A and B are shown apart, each in its own frame.
Chain A
């Protein structure tokens, strides 16, 4: 019973960051139809910025977090304007190849700048965990969870309560009609990519101090993000949020009660099952075609 409670608590904490990763990717995937291979690198970028400002320059941990996210947003905007804007209307394969190229360049740049050796980031939180009866969790993870939930709520509000969010949703439903109605598509695209990238950088900045920071840390994160997006249905924020928690739950329970060696396989097994029965994902919305 105690073990089950601990697994459930782990699921909750892990799910929050998975959801954050998934939302960023699903926005870009759903609205822009861009298969964003740089998502994992933005995640790594957030973590490295955290390392640079907090550990190298010695800035305050919380201020660094904000800086890392802002830089992530800026880098996302830069990628959109320089790489994706010239390819607007190009074949999806072309865009995909460019994004794969960008992914390789970014990962190798990280390697060049920071070397392949893992970096660790100190946090102002106590080492002693928060003990709640039979279960315990580190303070930094509680903080990560709270911030992740706030960011998820923030993204939801932005999409559903602001004019920009309305423009994004309109573009998602039908790009051409939205453009005809006076929506500035270029701006919506840049904003979407920047927002998605910012969320990835936020996830990296939050998890960097929990784990260690390496140039290849983005690979697994991107793989999980894609899994969550497929699970939740393309372009669906609610789907990505729930998908993140479901993936965390399946991994945690799979590792805890079935086999820890197949932990990462559990998530993908789930995706195969979901795709067999609901090929558009668990929570796919109707999309206007043509």
Chain B
């Protein structure tokens, strides 16, 4: 009897499994793979980016899709882990046969995925990662819309005098992004005659940072640059406050979500400055105000957390860039999309998106030159700092 039930159950589940891909391929769609951290240490950001991507896909579909076909996002969770990011990419390429992907948030995950792009010859639009290595190591399948840490640092250079920085310390998450950003900012500050002090690091999942902060507290620097994701940044601000850190805190990387910081770190976030790539509190100040305003409106309409907009726009811009490339290519094939990405001009939420060549000749990666903003948290409000 029980054998009989087992046999039936097995057959049924086999049929059910076999049926899934058929349903998916029954209607002709253009698939775009999305590889984001939906769970784990940096889950908040990954979910925000994915929400932005959903808005873009729905907007495209409402306007008739791309090349007359509906867009279908295949979303995979990379679990805030580089190994899982590679597994997710491989699944998207091999099982779902996507012709193009967007991902993978962290520089570390993106760098882990990149060899797979070469292996399977699939282009990927990188929406968040900022490590310089991504576009300089000679991977012609990578197109990045987010700024490199170097671009971010250079954009900050003309604000050094506004801040009156004499000596700066660094606290960075111990990965490609954090180390890369502190390197670039250090170089930029030195070039501009600012003294550079300590560089402290913290592992991505560390929650207690009092050892690092106690060391920094003893420093005579006036400014502390912090690079990490919003979850850890919350902890840094709270613990810096409780230790009485005297330095002005400036955060970099664009993944800080100041609203979430105000919400979760409270008064500890007061007086901190943040470098961002989208300032949703002032969408009309963006280079393409109408695009920015309508994106913010759609985000609010769906009831998504306002705090996520500083990340969410990346997903929107990423999918819109991919859509423009497919449209230009005239077909949803990897090589044609890669070719077309070089010619796209997209009016994005951050600004105009197009790609310049970076990396060794003949193997160049695409790199966009995005806009950078500075905001300040004061009395639980986000303001444009007045210098």
Which A residues are within 8 Å of any B CB, using their own CB?
2-3, 6-7, 10, 13-14, 111, 115-118, 120, 122, 127, 129, 131, 136-138, 141, 207, 211-212, 214-217, 219-220, 251-252, 254-256, 260-261, 263-264
Question: Is B201 within 8 A of A138, CB to CB?
Answer: no
Q: How far is the CA of A267 from the CA of B203 in the complex (A)?
A: 14
Question: Does chain A have a CB within 8 A of B328?
Answer: no
Question: Is A256 within 8 A of B211, CB to CB?
Answer: yes
Which B residues are within 8 Å of any A CB, using their own CB?
38-41, 43-44, 46-47, 80, 174, 200-203, 205-208, 210-212, 214-215, 217-218, 231, 234-235, 238-239, 241-244, 263-268
Q: How far is the CA of A251 from the CA of B266 in the complex (A)?
A: 28
Beyond A129-B244, A137-B243, A252-B210, 14 additional contacts (C-beta under 8 Å) are: A6-B214, A10-B211, A115-B43, A116-B43, A138-B239, A212-B231, A254-B211, A260-B201, A260-B215, A261-B174, A261-B201, A261-B203, A263-B211, A264-B203
**Of listed A2, A216, A217, A252, residue having the most chain B CB within 10 A:** A216
Residue of A nearest to B174 (CB): A261
Question: Is B43 within 8 A of A138, CB to CB?
Answer: no
The dominant DSSP class at the A interface is helix
Closest CB pairs A-B (n = 5):
A116-B43, A138-B242, A255-B211, A116-B39, A120-B264
Q: How far is the CA of A137 from the CA of B238 in the complex (A)?
A: 11
Q: A7-B214, A10-B210, A260-B215 are in contact. Are A118 and B43 (CB under 8 A)?
A: yes
Q: A10-B210, A129-B243, A255-B212 are in contact. Are A116 and B203 (CB under 8 A)?
A: no
Closest chain B CB from A61 CB (angstroms): 15
Q: A120-B263, A260-B200 are in contact. Are A212 and B215 (CB under 8 A)?
A: no
Closest chain A CB from B339 CB (angstroms): 36
Closest chain B CB from A134 CB (angstroms): 9
Q: How far is the CA of A137 from the CA of B217 in the complex (A)?
A: 13
Question: Is B202 within 8 A of A263, CB to CB?
Answer: yes
The listed residue (A10, A116, A215) touching B47 by CB distance below 8 A is A116
Question: Is A120 within 8 A of B234, CB to CB?
Answer: yes
User: Which residues of A sit under 8 angstroms from B267, Cβ to Cβ?
Assistant: 127
Closest chain B CB from A130 CB (angstroms): 9
User: Which residues of A sit under 8 angstroms from B200, Cβ to Cβ?
Assistant: 260
Question: Is A217 within 8 A of B242, CB to CB?
Answer: no
The dominant DSSP class at the B interface is helix
User: Which residues of A sit under 8 angstroms from B206, Cβ to Cβ?
Assistant: 220, 263-264
Question: Is A137 within 8 A of B242, CB to CB?
Answer: yes
User: Which residues of B sit under 8 angstroms from A252, Cβ to Cβ?
Assistant: 210-211
Q: How far is the CA of A211 from the CA of B236 in the complex (A)?
A: 10
Closest chain B CB from A17 CB (angstroms): 9
Q: How far is the CA of A7 from the CA of B243 in the complex (A)?
A: 11
Contacts A/B (CB < 8 Å), 9 sampled: A6-B214, A6-B218, A211-B207, A214-B41, A220-B207, A255-B211, A256-B211, A260-B200, A263-B203
Closest chain B CB from A115 CB (angstroms): 8
User: Which residues of A sit under 8 angstroms from B44, Cβ to Cβ?
Assistant: 116-118
Closest chain B CB from A117 CB (angstroms): 4
The listed residue (A3, A111, A141, A214) touching B217 by CB distance below 8 A is A3
User: Which residues of B sit under 8 angstroms from A131, Cβ to Cβ?
Assistant: 244
Residue of A nearest to B178 (CB): A261
Question: Is A3 within 8 A of B218, CB to CB?
Answer: yes
Closest chain A CB from B42 CB (angstroms): 9
Closest chain A CB from B255 CB (angstroms): 13
Q: A214-B43, A255-B211, A260-B211 are in contact. Are A219 and B205 (CB under 8 A)?
A: yes
Question: Is A117 within 8 A of B241, CB to CB?
Answer: no
Closest chain A CB from B244 CB (angstroms): 5
Q: How far is the CA of A207 from the CA of B207 in the complex (A)?
A: 10
User: Which residues of A sit under 8 angstroms from B243, Cβ to Cβ?
Assistant: 6, 129, 136-137
User: Which residues of A sit under 8 angstroms from B43, Cβ to Cβ?
Assistant: 115-118, 214
Question: Is B217 within 8 A of A127, CB to CB?
Answer: no
Question: Is A216 within 8 A of B41, CB to CB?
Answer: yes
The listed residue (A111, A115, A116, A136) touching B242 by CB distance below 8 A is A136
**Of listed A13, A118, A217, A264, residue having the most chain B CB within 10 A:** A118
User: Which residues of B sit under 8 angstroms from A7, Cβ to Cβ?
Assistant: 211, 214
Question: Is B201 within 8 A of A118, CB to CB?
Answer: no
Q: How far is the CA of A215 from the CA of B265 in the complex (A)?
A: 19
Q: A131-B244, A263-B203 are in contact. Are A212 and B212 (CB under 8 A)?
A: no
Question: Is B40 within 8 A of A116, CB to CB?
Answer: yes
Q: How far is the CA of A252 from the CA of B235 in the complex (A)?
A: 17
Closest chain B CB from A200 CB (angstroms): 16
Q: How far is the CA of A15 from the CA of B101 in the complex (A)?
A: 45
Residue of B nearest to A139 (CB): B242
Residue of A nearest to B267 (CB): A127
